[in-house]
Amino acid sequence: MDPTRLDQARQRGLTRGQLRSAAWAHPAHDLYQPAVGARSLRERCLAMQLVLPEGAVFTHLTSALLRAWWLPDIDWQHLIACSDEKAPHHDRRGVYVRRCGVAAAHRLTVDGVGVASAAWTIAELAEHLALVDLVVVIDCALQRKARTYADLRAVVIRGRRGVRTLRRALMLCDGRSESAWETILRLVHRLSGIDDIEPQYLVREPSGVIIARADLRLGLTQRLPEYDGADHRGSTQQRRDLERDKTLRRWSWERFGYVAHEIHRQPHVIVRDAEEALGLAADRTRVQGWLEEYRLSSLTTGGRTALIERLQRFVRTTSPRHGAG
């Protein structure tokens, strides 16, 4: 069964009793959808489109979630959409509708759902995400070819909320990253002033044969910092990693693997390792640039709490107008 508005349900022969049964979910006023699909974000968006203003598209976190981008771990379930800035005010339970002038070029349909373009979505996320979180999102969009760097530069509008964060993020992003944690490890270096790094470096034998691809290479050194996630713990992957490490050592490459705990608790060690490899003098204050942004990010409890508080304006569990009436 497809989702339906109340007036359409009568035409389809559905009674109020049927709609109030456990077989149907009631995500918004005058809107019903089969309960079996109510947990799917796409199905919820397809249903909500029936009661949104004409031309409205989903944006912000909803658009990013539909695209399965690398996002803060905050278990966000609320829908955010955007209508034309001249459209009548729309306020109902289940969805927050922003009135903003999304140009036709930024209104797309993806798998049947109307969404804002990747570039517009990122510009809106910049209003609320911390710098580290935003760079992770942009890296994902670039890595998946959702947008180009030029597309993102085009939505940097002077005076727009979040534009300073967006400008900084565009200076730090790199579409070669293959995971959120690879991006984060790179940012530990970049925000600590270690700029001489190359992501996804192809390690070759003197003959030119590729023997490995590393997350990062420090300058022209033989040092390869990499993020080691949970996927490296399986027996098959661990065996491959050990074989790869031995091959690198045979050619005098140094692989330094780091885990999430070190990024959270010992970033000064990561930075000191980079200083040593690059021949830089030890500077205990160097890591402060990373720590300042880290504390604001969703990687910390405080950063997640602050982000959720900033996003509360988008939560619509009841309809103010309906309740007032």
Domains and CATH numbers, the chain: 4-174+316-324 (no CATH), 193-286 (3.40.960)
Mean pLDDT of all residues belonging to the chain: 89
User: Residue 243: helix, strand or coil by DSSP?
Assistant: helix
Could you read off the pLDDT of 124-167 as tens digits, one per residue?
999 999 999 999 999 999 999 877 888 898 888 888 899 999 99
Q: In terms of Cα–Cα distance, which of 156, 143, 244 is closest to 186?
A: 143
> How deeply is 241 buried, as exposed, middle or buried, from its count of CB atoms within 10 A (0-12, 13-18, 19+)?
middle
CA dist 207 and 282 (Å) reads: 36
Q: What is the mean pLDDT of residues 44-70?
A: 92
Q: In terms of Cα–Cα distance, which of 190, 165, 167 is closest to 177?
A: 190
CB atoms < 10 A from the CB of 70, how many? 21
User: Residue 88: helix, strand or coil by DSSP?
Assistant: coil
More confident residue, 235 or 285: 285
User: Residue 182: helix, strand or coil by DSSP?
Assistant: helix
Stated pTM of the model? 0.90
Q: What is the mean pLDDT of residues 46-65?
A: 92
Which is it for the CA torsion 311, 314, 316, 322, positive or negative?
Answer: positive
- The encoded tokens of residue 112 equal 């049947």
- The encoded tokens of residue 77 equal 């379930």
Could you read off the pLDDT of 77-103 as tens digits, one per residue?
899 999 876 665 667 788 999 888 788
Q: What pLDDT is stored for residue 51 in this prediction?
A: 87
Burial 149-169 (b: 16+ CB within 10 A, else e): eebbeebbeeeeebbebbebb
Could you read off the pLDDT of 267-303 as tens digits, one per residue?
999 999 999 999 999 999 999 999 999 999 999 999 9
CA distances from 312 to 29, 80, 199 (A): 20, 11, 36
Strand partners, 82: 57, 98
